[in-house]
Amino acid sequence: MQKKILVTGGTGYIGSHTVVELIKEGFEVVVIDNLSNSKVEVLDKIEKITGTKPVFYQFDLCDFERLEACFKKEGNISSIIHFAASKAVGESVEKPLLYYRNNLQSLVNLLELMRKYHVPDIVFSSSCTVYGQPDKLPVTESTPYQIAESPYGNTKQIGEEILKDTCKAHSEIKSIALRYFNPVGAHESALIGELPLGTPNNLVPFITQTAAGIREQLSVFGSDYNTPDGTAVRDYIHVVDLAKAHVISVKRLLENLNKSNFEFFNIGTGNGYSVLQTIQTFERVNGVKVNYKLVDRRPGDIEQIFADTSFANKELGWKAEKGLEEMMSSAWKWQQTVK
């Protein structure tokens, strides 16, 4: 029988790519999304790619009653992938309570209902932000947490703690937290991709919008970092590789292959690229120019981070397959379809 996976935030950027991979692997998918940062048309795009339109509920996960009604109606949910969350670092500094409520109350609601309705597994969207600026690179899963730079980062740390405590107290619940590095790129069909609302905060959407003439100029935040070219270094990962890591994690939990009830993995490529290298790769593979200027550092940014992915490679049998060139070409192909 087809296993049913509940995907929260399933119309969002990473969520939609994961829904595609789940359907391709034969799972039945139910999506919950409040559409606060995504469009309902994404479901049609998913259908175009896979031939299947997932069942969809539009509501906020903080609404316990609606969520419970969904658990009741859907019945036999095998596993949950929980993407739904707010993710703008700057906004979280201005609206901390919104972030704590959105990102944490939703998680607690899900966990309570998982217990009540006997749903055993949850895969959680964590972030490399839990490491802050680490002393030693690359970061492994045993690199300690740093004090979070923002309420957003704090919600990821606390989210992991909530899962760890819950899995310890209630052994019927198992969880995998995936610590994403910087997800970029789009599906090869160019039917789904990142759809930032308003001015993008993240680098790659800003690059593509500048190349498309929607933004006049890209500001490169900081050129005096202690890195080879002075700009900050990140581990960019193709969103389809990231999506596949979720499918593997779901299967690991379903098949009870996990080594403990709460596991966490770095999901990156292991390669660090600077902001300038990223822009130059984009220009080279797409044959377009990006108008940029070097400006001051952005407050709260770290200098550099990239992953040691050997634990995920070994334990999950997962490895990123797509390089920076494919990330940049797919991001541009997608941008050109966005009206």
What is the binding site for ligand UD1 (CB under 6 A)?
87-89, 127-129, 153, 182, 201-203, 206, 218-221, 232, 234, 275, 298, 301-302, 305
Nearer to ligand UD1 by C-beta: 53 or 298?
Answer: 298
User: If we measure between CA atoms, which residue out of 139, 119, 120 comes closest to residue 131?
Assistant: 139
Which of 13, 99, 152, 273 is catalytic? The answer is 152
* In contact, 193 and 20? CB cutoff 8 Å: no
Q: How far is the CB of 279 from ligand UD1 (least distance, A)?
A: 9
Structure tokens at 166: 């819950």
Nearer to ligand UD1 by C-beta: 54 or 268?
Answer: 268
* In contact, 123 and 175? CB cutoff 8 Å: yes
Q: How far is the CB of 262 from ligand UD1 (least distance, A)?
A: 20
Nearer to ligand UD1 by C-beta: 54 or 222?
Answer: 222
Q: How far is the CB of 91 from ligand UD1 (least distance, A)?
A: 9
Nearer to ligand UD1 by C-beta: 203 or 327?
Answer: 203
What H or E segment, with its residue span, contains residue 32?
A: strand 28-32
Overall size of the chain counted in residues: 339
Asked if omega into 228 is within 30° of 0 (cis), the reply is no
* In contact, 106 and 84? CB cutoff 8 Å: yes
Is 100 annotated as catalytic?
A: no
Q: Which bin fits 75, alpha (ψ -120 to 50), beta or left (φ > 0)? A: left
Q: How far is the CB of 301 from ligand UD1 (least distance, A)?
A: 4
| Active site members | 152
